Copies of this chain bind each other. A is one copy, B any other.
Amino acid sequence: MRGLRLFGVGVAAVVALGSGPVSEPGLAGFSDAAARVEREWEAKFRAIPDPARLRADVQRLSARPHAVGSAYDKDNAEWILAQFKAAGLDAHIETFDVLFPTPIERRLEMTAPTTFVATLQEPPVAVDPTSAQTSEQLPTYNAYSVDGDVAGPLVYVNYGVPEDYDRLERLGVSVKGAVVIARYGHSWRGIKPKVAAEHGAVGCIIYSDPRDDGYFEGETFPAGPFRPDEGVQRGSVMDTYYVGDPLTPGWGATKDAKRLPLKDVTVITKIPVLPISYGDAKPLLAALSGPMAPEAWRGALPFAYHVGPGAARVHLVVKSDWSLKPIHDVIATIPGSTFPDEWVIRGNHHDAWVNGAEDPVSGQAALLEEARAYGELLKQGWRPKRTIVYCAWDGEEPGLLGSTEWAETHAAELSRHAVAYLNSDSNGRGYLSMSGSHTLEAFYNDVARDVTDPESGVSVWKRLWAHRIEKAKTAAERKEIRERPDLRIGALGFGSDYTVFLDRLGIPCLSLGFGGEDEGGIYHSIYDDFYWYTHFGDTTFVYGRALAQTTGTAVMRLADAELLPYRFTNLADTVDRYLGQLKKLLASERDEARERNLELKEGVFTATVDPRAPLLPPPAETVPPHLDFAPLENAAETLAGSAERYDAAVAKARADGGAALAGTGIAAVDAALMGVERALLDPAGLPGRPWFENALYAPGMYTGYGVKTVPMVREPIEQRQWAEANDGIVRTAKALTAAAAAIDRATAALEKAAP
C-alpha cells in the first residue's frame, strides 16, 4: 500500500527500505494487473541498452569539435536524426537562429611589475588524438562577454561572489578601476563578472585553481583525470535575467522572429571577461602584493596568495563576432495510444564546447540507446498510452538555447500537453544524482529502486541511500534518511535544459545522471574527449547503460501509467520544509545583525585589529523585522490537506485491483493533475526577472547554478528587501493555494471516475 505513507510508515516498511529495494506490491498509477504487464515491458526494456553501442556512439559524436555553428554540430544533428529514424521513430530537425558570439581577439598581458603575455592555449597531448584538432576547436573564451580593451591594477577576489567583496572591504581593498582575477567555482561563472562590475571593476579574469580541479585533487591529464597546467574552462557568462537566445527573450528564435537590438540585451556582461589556465594565472597571482588572502581564499599554487592591489597591472582585450548562428534541435516522437495529447518529454543536448565526450555526449548516447530500445519494444508490440517526445538539443552550452527556443516556440502546446520533462546531460561513475520537481519525488524513488547499480550490485536507490547515510553530519539527518520512505530529491536551479520547462512553463521535471566517482578537471576543455572518457570516466559504459535504464524506465512508466503517478504529499512535505528554512533564515539573520551590532558597540573589532594586517570593522546592520509568514503557513497547510485527500482518493481507486484506473474518466483526472505544477507559476514573474515564473523553484540571482526555492521570499530576505519579502509571501501563498485547488479538482475527478 502506498497510500499516505509519508504520514503513517510502519516499522516493517522502514526496515525493508533500509535493507534494500522493496518489491512493491503495486506500481503508482497502475492497477495491479496493469502493473504486472508494465513490469514485464520494463524488464525487457532494461535488457536492451548496450555498453558497446554506447561506446561507439560516444566515439562518433565526440570525434570532432562540435560547438554551435560548427560543421560537425550540424553533422551530429543529422546523424542523430538518422538514429531516431532507424529506431522507427517519427523525427525531424527544428532550426533556430541565435546570437552566439565567437572570439575574434583575446589578449591578456601583465604590464607591470614584470611583463608576461598569457598563452590562452590548450596544447595537444600526444597520447590523445582528438586534442590535436586545433583548427576546429573554439579558442578558450567566455561567451557573451562584452567586447572591451581595458587595463588596470590586478586584484584577487577569490570566487568573486558578494561575500568575497564584503571581505575585501574589511581588508580596505577596492576593485574600482581594477581588473579582478576570480577562481572558478562556488557560483555560476556569469555571477563573477556581474558582481565585479557592480563593484566598479573594469575587467574580469576567471582561472581554474589547481586546488579546485587540478593537482590538489589528483593526477593531471593525461596521467590522471584532473586539469593540467594549461587546461581552461570555457563557458557562457550570460546573466540570468532569462535564458535562451539573448535576442528573443520569451519567444522562439525562428527565422523571422522579432529580435532585440544588441544594445538592449541585458544578459551580456558589463565588463570583458576571459578564462585562463592556472599555468597562465601563476605569474599574475605571484605578482600580487597587498594583504594576504584569507585562508579560505588560498589555492594550491606554491606561493603565498595576496589580494593585491600592488604593482601588478594587466591589460585585457576581448572581441567577438556577434553574428547569428544556426542551431539544430532533433525531435522524435512515439504517439500515445490512449492519451496522445499527454506528452512525456525527454532531452539531452548534443552541442559541446569542443569534443565534449563527457559533456554532453555521455548523456546523449544514453538517450539514443533509450530510443533504440523503444524501437525494439514497439516491434514487439509495446504501445505507450501517452506520447513520448525525444529531444536532442543544440546550443545548450551558450545558454540553453536549443531547448529554450523550442519550448518558447511551442509554449502553448506544451502548457496544454506536457506531463513531465526528463533531462540528462553529462554522465559518469557513481551515484544517481536525484533532482527535480517534488511532485515526482516518490515516482523517481520508485524508479531508482528498480535499477541495479553496476558496481555494487544493489539498486541505485540503495546505493545512494547508503551514500547519504555515510555523508550525513548529524544523528538527526541519519534518522530522517532511515525513516523517510523516499530519499529527498534536490530542487533544480539552472544549468541544463530543464530550465525553460520548469521555471517558465511549470512542467514537472526530473534531472538524471550518475557521478561522484569520476571526478576530473577537463570540464569545457579540449581534453573532455574520447581518450579522457575511456580512461577516466565511465570507461566501460556500464553507467551509461544504468542511465539509459533509469531514464528509460521513468519515461516508459510515465507514458504507460493508467493515471499520472504524481504524488503531492511529497510536495507538501517539501514546501513545509522550505517554510521552516525561511523562518530559520530570517531568525539567523536577525541574530547575526544583533550580534554584529553588539560587537561593534563592545569594541570587539577595534580591540582585535592587528596593526600589521588591519581589518576594518564591518558596517552596522539594521536588524531585520519579523515577517508575517501566516499566509504561507496557511497555504502550506491547505496544500498538505489537498495532498492527503488526493492520496486517499488514489488508494480508494486502487482498492480491489484498481479496475477503476482503467475507466474513461481518467483523462479528466490527468488534465486536472497537469494543472497542479502549472498553478505554481505566477504570470507576473519573479521581481526583476519576469521570464522566470515558478514561485517554488528558481536559480539564484547571485548563485546561478544554485537553486533558490521559494525565490520570492528567500531572495528578498537574503537581500534585505522587506517589502518585497512580504509581497513574495502573499504571492507564493497564492500560487500554493492555486496548486491545492488544482489537486482538489483532480481528487474530485478521480472520485467521480472511480465506481
The residues of A with any CB-CB pair to B shorter than 8 Å are 18-19, 210, 215-220, 224, 226, 292, 298, 300-304, 429-430, 455-456, 458, 462-463, 466-467, 469-470, 475, 478, 517, 591, 595, 599, 602-613
Contact = CB atoms under 8 A, between A and B. Distances in A.
B304 A604 contact: no
A471 to B, nearest CB: 9
Given A302-B301, A595-B475, A612 B517 contact: yes
Contact of A607 (B224, B226, B466, B613): B466
B517 A470 contact: no
A611 B478 contact: no
Nearest to A455: B611
Contact of A599 (B218, B469, B613): B469
Interface centre among A217, A475, A607 (most CB of B within 10 A): A607
Nearest to A430: B610
Nearest to A459: B607
Q: Copy number in this complex?
A: 2
Nearest to A463: B607
B602 A469 contact: yes
Contacts of A215: 302-304
9 contacts: A215-B302, A216-B298, A216-B304, A456-B609, A463-B608, A466-B602, A466-B608, A470-B604, A470-B608
Interface centre among A19, A301, A429, A608 (most CB of B within 10 A): A608
Contact of A210 (B218, B302, B463): B302
A19 B456 contact: no
Contacts of A292: 218
A604 B456 CA distance: 11
Nearest to A454: B611
A609 to B, nearest CB: 7
A462 B303 CA distance: 36
A226 B292 CA distance: 13
Contacts of A455: 609-611
Nearest to A453: B607
Given A218-B304, A302-B302, A599 B470 contact: yes
Nearest to A216: B298
Nearest to A516: B610
A524 B478 CA distance: 46
B517 A467 contact: no
Contact of A304 (B224, B430, B456, B611): B224
A462 B607 contact: yes
A210 B613 CA distance: 21
Given A429-B612, A467-B608, A469-B602, 4 more contacts: A216-B298, A217-B304, A478-B595, A517-B612
A373 to B, nearest CB: 27
A292 B302 CA distance: 19
A220 B220 CA distance: 27
Given A469-B602, A475-B595, A602-B469, A304 B608 contact: no
A291 to B, nearest CB: 11
Contacts of A610: 429-430, 455, 517
Given A224-B304, A599-B470, A607 B456 contact: yes
B304 A302 contact: no
Contacts of A612: 429, 517
Contacts of A591: 475
Nearest to A475: B591
A472 to B, nearest CB: 10
What are the nearest 9 A-B pairs in CB distance?
A466-B607, A466-B604, A302-B302, A517-B610, A218-B304, A456-B607, A463-B607, A219-B304, A469-B604
Contacts of A606: 456
Nearest to A217: B304
A209 to B, nearest CB: 12
A503 B92 CA distance: 85
Nearest to A536: B612
Contact of A466 (B298, B304, B467, B603): B603
A292 B224 CA distance: 12
A215 B462 CA distance: 44
Nearest to A603: B466
Contacts of A462: 607
A606 to B, nearest CB: 7
A604 to B, nearest CB: 4
A475 B462 CA distance: 38
A287 to B, nearest CB: 13
Contacts of A218: 292, 304
A467 B18 CA distance: 47
Nearest to A19: B602
A198 B239 CA distance: 58
